[in-house]
């Protein structure tokens, strides 16, 4: 018999963890001498009070959708992909090469090839740690951490030497040609008669991200491959007994995971900056960990958590603009969410399980 | 490259290796007891901030060191709570602690000092200054002679250059870190506590059967880890540099982790690995890119080399790195 109903596991525990994280964040704000109520007000207004705010919230959320899905897919196979940051960086590199060197007639075609470039580069960056884990048993957490740093060095080198236009000072590529620039939400919604902020960076990638959610959902729960991935994650010995090859499954899972991280580049590199800059990923690869934990590795949960973190990021930027609270507050909240939903999960779970068991005894 | 330049690069390597070595030994204690710790970075950062903050407020560097160690211990306690008491995922806990430190340090720094997430620059009394060993040429000799120190060292003999530049003139924490290597070796391999600590990382059930507390041992290991990370962070902010700046650990915790794997969880090898990685950092700092027979090695290669070497070691191409067997797994007591 299960210790508690499913809704408690899926909804109640994440909500309690989130409330705990919010409570401690409020305490932190109090301790540095600001008002938590006012801070929350500012955040809600700044992130959700205008289409400009929404434009930024959705833009950040799109980044986190990809990295969150990537972490979730890997987690289903029992793998902890902490290398999303590096995979997204290298994905950006692949995307930049495609957009800079191939002349496209229209953005739709550019989008398809850019997505291929970004996805393949991201997947390739995940392939080496995946191979080392599958074949040689090197711990994937450590190798993906190392690959984040190596990716940063590679990107730095490419931007300083190969990809930098002649005479430019900044370590960045040239701006992508007009036909490789994606329409923003403003341009998409205007024909429908909806006014949307012109300067906000949210763009058509949002819909690619939503499509990725549906595809990942179908893949994990409605394909033989998804079944193999989940079987491996539940029990490696069981999976082997069922005729599943762990090496093959680990490789495929990590390629999908890395590819998803790579796809994030469509949003931040092609959609927003329209050129590749240093530190384009801005830590989104790591936020994917919090998003996947919070969303319980389910695409719909990842979607909700990505919106939540998009809100936090935009709200945090507004806070830094109008108050004395630095935007690093968001990093603290992110840490608390990871701590409570991930590492201290049992601290929340065990008391709630006890309550449900006690309730059940009373009813019987 | 002349002899003096070589000595100076080695001297700088020693300084760069010190925080790596302390953090690496910290990770060694924790991981030998079966607790993975990717939160070395966060603990160092926290300690760097609190040591610089307290040293700048009180003007006493020793109080700063104490505050740094306490703050690092607090994070260690949280890691222990999550991974030992509540049997949570140790890797996720480490990730969370790194973010917590990265955010909190800037938040508190801004609230206390209003200098954009940094502490004020530390004056002489707020820092660990170089110790002049006997017979070495140091700043005091230069003052007595009324000549610049660099000139006097340039004129000295090779032995004197080696002694004055490389061996003398470091802050006390550098010597402490070197001393920590044999102490770690002795504690782990020559004491009863060390034997039990290693056993708990290989087979906690056996330790439990012998009537020894697995939890107690693991908490002790995590505590030692916090202490050493605290010293490492304090050295960064009050020895190597004069004050705290945002993200000042800049990946050193991960390089220490890499060094730990490179050393295959052994203290003396950890010293070697940290000196090697320190040398790489020092070289990258001094020469932006290196000419090798018409071929240029870009500075980014030097930056990435510790990580690449670690991946090669992990891949088992140069002898296999086998971590403690019970590492990463929470121990569930049998009933």
Backbone φ and ψ of B293, nearest 5° = 55, 50
> Which chain B residue shows the shortest CA-CA distance from A326?
B107
Q: Which residues of B touch A132 (CB under 8 A)?
A: 311, 314-315
Burial A207-220 (b: 16+ CB within 10 A, else e): ebbeebbeebbebb
Q: How close B316 gets to chain A, by Cα (Å)?
A: 7
Whether B311 and A147 lie within 8 Å, measured CB to CB: yes
Structure tokens at B240: 């190597």
- pLDDT at res. B148: 78
- The answer to whether the CB of B126 falls within 8 A of the CB of B238 is yes
- pLDDT at res. B312: 84
Q: How close A326 gets to chain B, by Cα (Å)?
A: 6
Mean pLDDT of all residues in A308-320: 91
Cβ neighbours for A288, distance < 8 A, ≥ 6 positions apart: A64, A66, A67, A68, A69, A70, A71, A84, A261
> Which chain B residue shows the shortest CA-CA distance from A33?
B111
Whether A335 and B96 lie within 8 Å, measured CB to CB: yes
Q: Is the pLDDT of residue A304 over 90?
A: yes
Classify strands B295-297 and B290-292 as parallel, antiparallel or unpaired: antiparallel
Q: How close A345 gets to chain B, by Cα (Å)?
A: 7
Q: Does B106 touch chain A (CB under 8 A)?
A: yes
Q: Is the pLDDT of residue A271 over 80?
A: yes
A335, A336, A340: best to mutate for the B interface, most B CBs within 10 A: A335
Q: Which residues of A touch B307 (CB under 8 A)?
A: 146-147, 149-150
Q: What is the mean pLDDT of chain A?
A: 90
- pLDDT at res. B332: 82
Q: Does A351 touch chain B (CB under 8 A)?
A: no
How far is it, in rounded angstroms, from Cα A243 to Cα A255? 21
The model's pLDDT over A143-156, given as tens digits with 9 standing for 90+, comes to: 999 999 999 999 99
Q: Is the pLDDT of residue B21 over 60?
A: yes
Q: How close A263 gets to chain B, by Cα (Å)?
A: 24
How many CB atoms sit inside 10 A of residue A246's CB?
A: 17
Q: Which residues of B touch A147 (CB under 8 A)?
A: 307, 311
Q: Which residues of A touch B102 (CB under 8 A)?
A: 328, 331, 335
Hey, which residues 197-216 in chain A have their CB within 8 Å of chain B?
none
The model's pLDDT over A8-57, given as tens digits with 9 standing for 90+, comes to: 888 888 889 889 999 999 999 998 888 899 999 999 999 998 899 999 99
Of A66-70, B163-167, B251-255, minimum mean pLDDT range: B163-167
Q: Does A115 touch chain B (CB under 8 A)?
A: no
Q: Which residues of B touch A344 (CB under 8 A)?
A: 81-82, 86, 88, 93
- pLDDT at res. B326: 83
- pLDDT at res. B81: 94
- pLDDT at res. A350: 87
Kindly write down the DSSP assignment for every residue of B122-164, as one continuous string.
Answer: P-GGGS-PPPPPTT---HHHHHHHTS-HHHHHHHS-HHHHIII
- pLDDT at res. A2: 66
Q: Is the pLDDT of residue A1 over 60?
A: no
Q: Does B261 touch chain A (CB under 8 A)?
A: yes
What band does A62 get if pLDDT is binned at 50, 70 and 90?
very high
Q: Which residues of A touch B297 (CB under 8 A)?
A: none
What band does B84 get if pLDDT is binned at 50, 70 and 90?
very high
Whether B300 and A345 lie within 8 Å, measured CB to CB: no
Q: Is the pLDDT of residue A230 over 90?
A: yes
Mean pLDDT of all residues in B183-194: 96
Q: Which residues of B touch A293 (CB under 8 A)?
A: 92
Q: Does A5 touch chain B (CB under 8 A)?
A: no
What band does A196 get if pLDDT is binned at 50, 70 and 90?
confident
Q: How close A278 gets to chain B, by Cα (Å)?
A: 14
CB pairs under 8 A between A and B: 152
Whether B93 and A342 lie within 8 Å, measured CB to CB: yes
Hey, which residues 18-57 in chain B have their CB within 8 Å of chain A?
38
Whether A293 and B92 lie within 8 Å, measured CB to CB: yes
What band does B192 get if pLDDT is binned at 50, 70 and 90?
very high
Q: Which residues of A touch B314 (CB under 8 A)?
A: 132, 136, 138-139, 142-143, 146
The model's pLDDT over B325-334, given as tens digits with 9 standing for 90+, comes to: 888 788 887 7
- pLDDT at res. B261: 86
Q: What is this model's ipTM?
A: 0.89
Structure tokens at A60: 């950040």
How far is it, in rounded angstroms, from Cα B91 to Cα B163? 43
Q: What is the mean pLDDT of chain B?
A: 88
Q: Is the pLDDT of residue B292 over 80?
A: no
Hey, which residues 18-37 in chain A have their CB within 8 Å of chain B?
28, 31-33
CA neighbor of A295 nearest in space, from A114, A136, A72: A72
- pLDDT at res. A109: 92
- pLDDT at res. B288: 67
Q: Which residues of A touch B87 (CB under 8 A)?
A: 346
- The answer to whether the CB of B225 falls within 8 A of the CB of B29 is yes
Which DSSP category does B183 fall into? H
A142, A154, A309: best to mutate for the B interface, most B CBs within 10 A: A142
Q: Does B148 touch chain A (CB under 8 A)?
A: no
A354 or B139: whose pLDDT is higher? A354
Q: Which residues of B touch A329 (CB under 8 A)?
A: 103, 107
Q: Does A133 touch chain B (CB under 8 A)?
A: no
Pick from B78, B104, B301: CB nearest A332 = B104
CA neighbor of A176 nearest in space, from A88, A261, A265: A265
- pLDDT at res. B289: 65
Mean pLDDT of all residues in A72-78: 95
- pLDDT at res. B271: 96
> Which chain A residue shows the shortest CA-CA distance from B299?
A157
The model's pLDDT over B302-324, given as tens digits with 9 standing for 90+, comes to: 888 888 888 887 787 766 667 88
How far is it, in rounded angstroms, from Cα B97 to Cα A259? 28
Q: Which residues of B touch A332 (CB under 8 A)?
A: 99-100, 103-104, 107
Radius of gyration from C-alpha coordinates of chain B: 21
Q: Give the range with max mean pLDDT: A3-17, B91-105, B115-129.
A: B91-105
CA neighbor of A36 nearest in space, from A21, A49, A52: A21
Of A348-352, B152-156, B245-249, minimum mean pLDDT range: B152-156
3-state SS track over chain A: CCCCCHHHHHHHHHHHHHHHHHHHHHHHHHHCCCCHHHHHHHHHHHHHCCHHHHHHHHHHHHHHHHHHHHHHHHHHCCCCCCCHHHHHHHHHHHHHHHHHHCCCCCHHHHHHHHHHHHHHHHHHHHHHHHHHHHHHCCCHHHHHHHHHHHHHHHHHHHHHHHCCCCCCCCCECCCCCHHHCCCEHHHHHHHHCCCCCCCCCCECHHHHHHHHHHHHHHHHHHCHHHHHHHHHHHCHHHHHHCCCCHHHHHHHHHHHHHHHHHHHHHHHHHHHHCCCECCCCCCHHHHHHHHHHHCCCCHHHHHHHHHHHHHHHHHHHHHHHHCCCCCCHHHHHHHHHHHHHHHCHHHHHHHHHHHHHHHHHHHC
How far is it, in rounded angstroms, from Cα A45 to Cα A318? 9
- pLDDT at res. B335: 66
What band does A228 get if pLDDT is binned at 50, 70 and 90?
very high
- pLDDT at res. A356: 87
How far is it, in rounded angstroms, from Cα A55 to Cα A202? 5
Structure tokens at B12: 């700088």
Backbone φ and ψ of A277, nearest 5° = -120, 170
Pick from B95, B104, B314: CB nearest A143 = B314
Using DSSP's 3-state secondary structure scheme, residue B223 falls into helix
B54 or B127: whose pLDDT is higher? B54
Mean pLDDT of all residues in B211-217: 93
Q: Does B332 touch chain A (CB under 8 A)?
A: no
> Which chain A residue shows the shortest CA-CA distance from B81?
A344
The model's pLDDT over B225-275, given as tens digits with 9 standing for 90+, comes to: 999 999 999 999 999 888 999 999 988 999 899 899 888 899 999 999 999
> Which chain B residue shows the shortest CA-CA distance from A134?
B315
High-pLDDT (> 70) share of chain A, %: 99
Burial class (CB in 10 A: 0-12, 13-18, 19+), A320: middle
Mean pLDDT of all residues in B195-214: 92
Q: Does B331 touch chain A (CB under 8 A)?
A: no
Q: Which residues of A touch B108 (CB under 8 A)?
A: 32
The model's pLDDT over B68-78, given as tens digits with 9 standing for 90+, comes to: 999 999 999 99
Q: Does B298 touch chain A (CB under 8 A)?
A: yes
- pLDDT at res. B319: 64
Mean pLDDT of all residues in A260-276: 92
């Amino acid at each position: 018999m299960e210790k508690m109903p499913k809704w408690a596991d899926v909804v109640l525990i994440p909500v309690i963890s989130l409330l705990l994280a919010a409570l401690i964040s409020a305490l932190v704000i109090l301790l540095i001498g600001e008002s938590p109520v006012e801070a929350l007000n500012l955040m809600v207004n700044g992130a959700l009070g205008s289409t400009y705010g929404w434009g930024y919230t959705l833009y950040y959320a799109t980044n986190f959708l990809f990295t969150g899905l990537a972490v979730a897919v890997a987690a289903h196979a029992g793998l902890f992909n902490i290398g999303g940051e590096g995979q997204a960086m290298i994905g950006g590199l692949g995307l930049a090469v495609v957009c800079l060197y191939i002349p496209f007639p229209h953005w739709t075609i550019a989008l398809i090839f850019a997505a291929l470039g970004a996805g393949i580069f991201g997947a390739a960056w995940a392939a080496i740690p995946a191979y080392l884990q599958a074949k040689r048993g090197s711990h994937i957490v450590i190798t993906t951490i190392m690959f984040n740093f190596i990716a940063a060095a590679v990107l730095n080198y490419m931007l300083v030497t190969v990809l930098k236009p002649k005479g430019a000072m900044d370590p960045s590529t040239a701006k992508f040609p007009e036909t490789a620039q994606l329409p923003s939400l403003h341009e998409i919604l205007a024909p429908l008669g909806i006014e949307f902020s012109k300067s906000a960076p949210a763009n058509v990638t949002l819909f690619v991200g939503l499509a990725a959610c549906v595809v990942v959902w179908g893949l994990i729960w409605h394909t033989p491959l998804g079944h193999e991935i989940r079987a491996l994650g539940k029990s490696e010995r069981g999976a082997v007994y069922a005729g599943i090859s762990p090496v093959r499954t680990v490789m495929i899972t990590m390629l999908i995971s890395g590819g998803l991280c790579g796809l994030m580049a469509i949003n931040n590199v092609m959609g927003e900056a329209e050129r590749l800059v240093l530190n384009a990923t801005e830590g989104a690869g790591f936020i994917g960990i919090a998003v996947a934990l919070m969303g319980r590795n389910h695409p719909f949960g990842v979607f909700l958590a990505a919106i939540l973190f998009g809100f936090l990021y935009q709200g945090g930027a507004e806070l830094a603009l109008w108050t004395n609270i630095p935007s690093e507050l968001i990093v603290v909240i992110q840490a608390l969410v990871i701590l409570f939903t991930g590492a201290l999960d049992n601290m929340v779970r065990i008391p709630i399980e006890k309550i449900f068991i006690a309730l059940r005894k009373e009813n019987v | 490259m002349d002899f003096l330049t070589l000595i100076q690069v080695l001297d700088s390597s020693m300084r760069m290796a010190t925080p790596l070595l302390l953090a690496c030994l910290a990770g060694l204690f924790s991981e030998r007891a079966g607790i993975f710790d990717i939160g070395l970075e966060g603990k160092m950062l926290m300690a760097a901030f609190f040591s610089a903050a307290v040293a700048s407020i009180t003007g006493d560097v020793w109080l700063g060191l104490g505050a740094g160690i306490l703050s690092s211990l607090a994070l260690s306690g949280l890691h222990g709570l999550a991974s030992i008491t509540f049997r949570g995922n140790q890797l996720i806990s480490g990730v969370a602690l790194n973010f917590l430190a990265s955010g909190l340090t800037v938040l508190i720094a801004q609230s206390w000092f209003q200098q954009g997430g940094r502490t004020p620059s530390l004056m002489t009394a707020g820092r660990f200054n170089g110790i002049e060993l006997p017979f070495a040429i140091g700043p005091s000799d230069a003052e007595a002679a009324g000549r610049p120190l660099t000139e006097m060292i340039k004129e000295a003999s090779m032995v004197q250059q080696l002694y004055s530049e490389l061996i003398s003139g470091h802050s006390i924490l550098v010597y402490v870190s070197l001393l920590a290597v044999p102490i770690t070796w002795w504690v782990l391999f020559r004491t009863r506590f060390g034997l039990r600590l290693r056993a708990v990382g290989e087979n906690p059930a056996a330790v439990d059967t012998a009537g020894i507390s697995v939890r107690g041992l693991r908490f002790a290991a995590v505590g030692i880890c916090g202490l050493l990370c605290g010293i490492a962070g304090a050295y960064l902010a009050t020895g190597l540099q004069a004050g705290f700046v945002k993200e000042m650990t800049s990946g050193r915790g991960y390089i220490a982790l890499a060094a730990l794997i490179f050393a295959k969880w052994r203290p003396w090898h950890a010293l070697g690995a940290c000196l090697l990685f320190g040398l790489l950092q020092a070289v990258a700092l001094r020469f932006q890119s290196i000419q090798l027979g018409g071929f240029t090695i870009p500075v980014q290669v030097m930056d990435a080399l510790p990580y690449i070497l670690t991946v090669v070691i992990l891949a088992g191409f140069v002898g296999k790195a086998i971590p403690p067997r019970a590492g990463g797994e929470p121990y569930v007591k049998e009933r």
